[in-house]
Amino acid sequence: MRFDELELSDDVLDALDAMRFGECTPIQEQAIPVIFQKRDLIAVAQTGTGKTAAYLLPVIDMLADEPEPADSVSCIVMAPTRELAQQIDRQLEGFSYYLPISSVAIYGGTDGKEFARQQNGLKRGADVVIATPGRLIAHLQLGGIDLSRVQYFILDEADRMLDMGFFDDIMQIVKHLPQERQTLMFSATMPPKIQQLAKAILNDPAEVKIAVSRPTEKIDQSACIVYENQKTPVLRHLFKTISHKRVIVFASSKLKVKDLAKSLRKDGWRVGEMHSDLDQESRDEVMRGFRSANLDILVATDILSRGIDIDDISLVVNYDVPHEAEDYVHRIGRTARAGAGGSAVTLVSTAEQRAFGLLEKFLGYEVAKRELPASIGETPDYTPSRRSSGTGSRRPADRRGSGRNSKPARQTPRDKQPKPSTPRKQTPASNPSQASETAKTPKASKNKRRYYHNKRKES
């Protein structure tokens, strides 16, 4: 279905046209009509399915036709992290380019000056506020925001917010909202705690469920079966043998991120690191360096797995096996975006073999195992059905395939690597039909009837 087959206004359609959005994704096709019906909604959809557009497009369309006092807040969008809040704010700026809609993003991890700027933006009023739970509560406690006129309350990545311990914060925020409102909840999964939250804050909701996504076939997936102390040498080997432009390496802890970044810098790579110890200014500086190609490699914790919107990442390396299958999908989904190809390699230690075996079961196929050079040393057999003790049988790395359970792996189709792309000012690089979550300000479109630049509430 195309967007022009939905009940979206010409102004929204013109913005989508300028941003090269054509076909709806399944979540957009199913959720947008329900939202226009003013029903509460619970939608199960993963990152990368176009869910942000699924709720922003109808909400800003309705807000444009329902003018409120300039100093009132009409919509609250909750996000678990700063990175996601920033990403939603960028998308909103693009979608509302031809609408008289204002917005402000408030999130933690910033200095006092940034907090004051957020306060100032809220005092001036904004139609839409995108916020992390903790920072919104801080502004509520200081009397800096009035939620009594909120018409739309949206929770994005609700399951992740609950995983981070925000259930009580969300319920505290709900107490400040009017009873008459439309509540929309988007979650990648539907565990009991999400059902509990839905029962508490939703009123007779419609349900939309999009099948759990699998990695796109454009991603060339593979794994290296190694001992833990072989991971860094194998990583260096991968950098030498896989053609890459920008690389993200995901590690399981901030300590590993720091140590690995330090080691790679000694090798001469331009490396940035992203973890929870960095304040917001430092994170923004790292991301600017990565986007502008001043950095070759970004080493990060899962803080970045759902919040990055760069389209020409050619290689993702899982230094550690993700704990959850959906985290694996989110991580490797940072490559092969906007129709390009890409590679994803996971380093699997003996202690991680069982977890990786369960991941392969989720995927429905065996991930190809890479042959490693003899210089790496002996490597373990891959026996995911056994509980790994770290002392399994060993064999030379260049004889991979001779061990037990080492039948040829099913190969994921390989596409050619993405070509370098030149950033286009004020134009998003992707299309929702390609399941991208990115959006930037569009170029001027053919719509000459009226022109509103979305003015952000800043000091």
Q: Domain segments of the chain: what residues?
A: 3-212, 219-399
Counting beta carbons within 10 angstroms of the beta carbon of residue 314, is it exposed (0 to 12), middle (13 to 18) or buried (19 or more)?
A: buried
What is the distance of C-alpha 265 from the center of its chain? 27
The stretches of 292-433 forming alpha helices (DSSP H) are 325-332, 353-363
CB 74 within 8 A of CB 152: yes
Edge-first strand listing for the sheet containing 297-300: 271-274, 297-300, 247-250, 315-318, 342-348, 219-225, 368-369
Query: What is the predicted pLDDT for the residue at 304?
Result: 62
Query: What is the predicted pLDDT for the residue at 200?
Result: 95
The answer to whether the Cα torsion of 140, 145, 146, 150 is positive or negative is negative
- Residue 33: partners with Cβ closer than 8 Å, 6 or more residues away: 6, 7
Q: Please give the Cα distance from 104 to 89 (Å, whole number).
A: 7
Query: What is the predicted pLDDT for the residue at 400?
Result: 36
Query: What is the predicted pLDDT for the residue at 452?
Result: 40
Q: Please give the Cα distance from 178 to 197 (Å, whole number).
A: 17
| Tokens (6 digits) for 23 | 């076909």
Q: Please give the Cα distance from 31 to 58 (Å, whole number).
A: 9
Q: How far is CA 217 from CA 332, 411, 413, in A?
A: 12, 10, 6
**Which CATH number applies to 3-212?**
3.40.50.300
DSSP-derived secondary structure letter, 72: -
Q: How far is CA 99 from CA 374, 439, 455, in A?
A: 61, 16, 10
The stretches of 74-213 forming alpha helices (DSSP H) are 82-95, 112-124, 133-141, 158-163, 167-174, 192-201
Query: What is the secondary structure of 28-69 as a DSSP string?
Result: HHHHHHHHHTT--EEEE--TTSSHHHHHHHHHHHHHHTS---
Tens-binned pLDDT, residue by residue, of the chain (459 aa): 899 999 899 999 999 988 888 788 889 999 999 999 999 999 998 666 788 999 999 999 999 988 777 778 999 999 998 888 988 999 999 999 999 999 999 998 766 778 888 888 888 878 999 999 999 999 999 999 999 999 999 999 999 899 889 999 999 999 999 999 999 999 988 889 999 999 999 999 999 998 766 787 888 999 999 999 999 999 999 998 887 778 999 998 889 999 999 999 999 999 999 887 888 788 889 988 998 889 999 999 876 665 566 767 889 999 999 877 777 887 888 887 666 678 999 999 999 998 899 889 888 899 999 999 999 999 999 999 764 444 444 444 443 333 333 333 333 433 434 444 433 334 343 443 333 344 444 443 333 333 344 444 433
Query: What is the secondary structure of 336-355 as a DSSP string?
Result: S-TT--EEEEEEE-GGGHHH
CB 283 within 8 A of CB 304: no
Query: What is the predicted pLDDT for the residue at 278?
Result: 83
Residue written as token pair 């970045």:
304
Query: What is the predicted pLDDT for the residue at 335?
Result: 81
Homologous superfamily of 219-399: P-loop containing nucleotide triphosphate hydrolases (3.40.50.300)
Query: What is the predicted pLDDT for the residue at 283?
Result: 84
Give which of 221, 171, 223 is closest to 197, Cα–Cα. 171
Q: Please give the Cα distance from 409 to 366 (Å, whole number).
A: 6
Q: How far is CA 272 from CA 46, 160, 242, 281, 426, in A?
A: 27, 25, 20, 14, 25
DSSP-derived secondary structure letter, 416: P
Q: How far is CA 421 from CA 115, 212, 271, 425, in A?
A: 35, 30, 21, 12
Radius of gyration of the chain from its Cα atoms, rounded to whole angstroms: 23
Strand partners, 298: 248, 272
Q: Please give the Cα distance from 354 to 361 (Å, whole number).
A: 11
Give which of 111, 97, 334, 342 is closest to 218, Cα–Cα. 342
| Tokens (6 digits) for 214 | 């699998």
